Structure 1
Amino acid sequence: MPLVTFGELTVDLQRKKIKNLHISVLPPDGRVRVSAPISLSDTAIRMAVVRRLVWIRQQQAQFQAQPRQSEREMCSGETHYLWGRGYRLDVVLVDRTAEVKLNGGWIRMKVPPHYDTVQRETVLNQWYRGILKQRLPKLMAKWQTEMKVEASFVGIKRMKTKWGSCNPQSSRIWINLELVKKPPECLEFIVVHELVHLHERKHNERFIGLMNMYLPNWREHRAKLNKMPLAYNHWGY
């Protein structure tokens, strides 16, 4: 992806077969991505970026202000999150199949002695996935009924730049696994957000109107999500 400099701002420029130009400021460090129609001139792209420069700087400042977790070593004493609450990790070495359980204020992870950091993280993420898979279907059923829409597919995966995604044409929705670490209302906000895209593809006035109708306090949930600690890993795209 080519890097283009506009004054003091460097952006990743993508030219695609699309009708409109899109500017995104991405976590965790506020990198700027510009997706532009193939036919759009460099001058027009530059002017569009300059017009949004104040907004871009505001978004970058928000990312810089967000707390960040330290790099995870998957050892006892670390703090890991579930539904917005921090729990201490307790790693127990056992000669049997790995498992994770919530016990009071602790996340107790039993793993074989030979498991390294990556394997321990995989075990923990599988546990997180199981918890999210239990809660997500109920939320989807509730809001699909309320909004009179139906997703053809709902999946969970770790995404590096989005909390959720929706393809309105195929009605396929993905939810970021990291949401299991955030307060429950943040997950609900993302579910509603993605389902609204089945009514309205763009983030326009109609989209905002639908969000206001279905989830009047969605801005509070979005603000809470934006203030939560970012994952330690270096997000890319």
Structure 2
Amino acid sequence: MEQLMLGDITVDVVQKDIKNVHLSVYPPTGRVRIAAPLRMNLDTIRIYAISKLSWIKQQQTKFREQPRETPREYLNKEGHYYLGKRYLLTIIERDAPPQIKLRHSTIELYVRPDTEAQKRKDILESWYRERLKELAPSIIEKWEDKMSVSLNEFQVKKMKTKWGTCNCDAKNMLGNYLWSISQIRCSMI
């Protein structure tokens, strides 16, 4: 991987066997990456990046101005989202297998005594994944009818920068369970 400097902006350049140039600005810091065809030389890529400089700066500014959530610690009274609604996490220690119950305005996380934060996180993420797998078929069916399309396969995966992806040729869809289940609105179902 090579890097270009455009003033105070560093651009990571990856050349690979592709047809078109792909420019991306990634949250939360506004890291810039260009994927370019092997046939393009670095000077051409630099000129392309310079032509997109105002867009790059606009995206970086947008990311910097976005409110950021503090990192989750998986402690009592911490806010977590499910179906677009904020719930307070309640940790209940007991000597039994992990379990999660949704109560009025709380997510009750039942764990063994002295369960570490990473394990609590894993349990909650697994629960989110299972909820999306339960909710997705009815949402997909609704939109298949409205759009006159059909889906062969739906998978759930944790992704850092996307809500999901779709392969139109194979009719496959991949959903990001962390974003989807925490933000999806009940009205969509």
What is the CA–CA distance in structure 2 between the aligned matches of 1:185 and 1:108, rounded to whole Å? 20
One-letter amino acid matched to 2:182: K
What is the TM-score of this pair, normalised by structure 1?
0.74
Q: What's 2:180 paired with?
A: 179
**Higher Rg of the two aligned structures:** 2
| CA deviation map 1:62-91 (0-9, x unaligned) | 111111111211110111111222111100
What is the TM-score of this pair, normalised by structure 2?
0.91
Kindly tell me the number of residue pairs found equivalent between the two proteins: 188
Q: Which consecutive residues of structure 1, in runs of 5 or more, have no partner in the other structure? A: 189-237
Structure 1 or 2: more helix by fraction: 1
What is the CA–CA distance in structure 1 between the aligned matches of 2:173 and 2:188, rounded to whole Å? 13
One-letter amino acid matched to 2:55: W
Q: What's 2:87 paired with?
A: 87
What is the CA–CA distance in structure 1 between the aligned matches of 2:187 and 2:40, rounded to whole Å? 37
One-letter amino acid matched to 2:147: M
What is the CA–CA distance in structure 2 between the aligned matches of 1:153 and 1:42, rounded to whole Å? 40
| CA deviation map 1:17-50 (0-9, x unaligned) | 1111110111121111101010012121111111
**How far did 1:157 drift?**
1.1
**How far did 1:149 drift?**
2.4
The yes-or-no answer on 1:58 pairing with 2:58 is: yes
Q: Contact 2:15/2:35 (CA < 8 Å) preserved in 1?
A: yes
What is the CA–CA distance in structure 2 between the aligned matches of 1:126 and 1:158, rounded to whole Å? 10
Q: Which consecutive residues of structure 2, in runs of 5 or more, have no partner in the other structure? A: none
Structure 1 or 2: more strand by fraction: 2
- What is the CA RMSD across the aligned residues, in angstroms? 2.0
Q: Residue 36 of structure 2 aligns to a residue in which SS?
A: strand
Structure of greater relative contact order (alpha carbons < 8 Å, 6+ residues apart): 1
Q: What's 2:37 paired with?
A: 37
Equivalent runs, 1:42-191 vs 2, <5 Å: 42-177=42-177, 178-184=179-185
What is the CA–CA distance in structure 2 between the aligned matches of 1:185 and 1:104, rounded to whole Å? 15
What is the CA–CA distance in structure 1 between the aligned matches of 2:41 and 2:94, rounded to whole Å? 62
Q: Contact 2:84/2:186 (CA < 8 Å) preserved in 1?
A: no
Q: Residue 87 of structure 2 aligns to a residue in which SS?
A: strand
Q: What's 1:20 paired with?
A: 20
Q: Residue 115 of structure 1 aligns to a residue in which SS?
A: coil
Residues 98/170 of structure 1: CA separation in 2 closer, same or farther (3 Å cut): same
Q: Contact 1:180/1:187 (CA < 8 Å) preserved in 2?
A: no
Percent identical residues: 36
